[in-house]
């Protein structure tokens, strides 16, 4: 069984935006599942974090949502990235790379 780690603080928006950028539209479970699969089961997004984040992203205009029906014939909200969301993704990636570069410099042996 793979070890799962917590999603680093401040990266949930980045992960959701990138997941939606790679897909036309997804419902919440598909977003969480995609992140888990693409991370080789290292990252797991909990419902208690995912849906509030998606709601904030709706308010910010980064995503839009429409009700639909899943393959299993269940009602679900499907999320799509907006133009503002694509711009935010570029910003989130840039900030992440800057922070990761700084962390890499700090942890390098002297």
Q: Look at residue 4 in the predicted model and tell me its pLDDT.
A: 67
Beta bridge partners, 78, equal 27, 66
pLDDT band at 34 (very low <50, low <70, confident <90, very high): very high
Could you read off the pLDDT of 97-107 as tens digits, one per residue? 999 999 999 99
| Other Cβ atoms closer than 10 A to 88 | 20
Q: What pLDDT score does 110 carry?
A: 73
Which candidate, 29, 71, 64, 36, places its Cα nearest to that of 50?
29
User: Order of strands across the sheet with 75-81?
Assistant: 26-27, 75-81, 63-69
pTM greater than 0.85: yes
């Amino acid at each position: 069984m793979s070890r799962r780690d917590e999603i680093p603080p401040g990266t949930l928006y980045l992960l959701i935006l990138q997941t939606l950028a790679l897909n036309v539209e997804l419902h919440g479970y598909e977003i969480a599942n995609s992140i888990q699969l693409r991370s080789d089961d290292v990252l797991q997004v909990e419902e208690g974090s995912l849906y509030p984040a998606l709601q904030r992203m709706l308010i910010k205009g980064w995503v839009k949502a429409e009700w639909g029906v899943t393959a299993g014939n269940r009602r679900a909200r499907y999320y799509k990235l907006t133009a503002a969301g694509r711009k935010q993704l570029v910003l989130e990636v840039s900030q992440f790379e800057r922070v990761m570069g700084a962390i890499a410099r700090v942890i390098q042996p002297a």
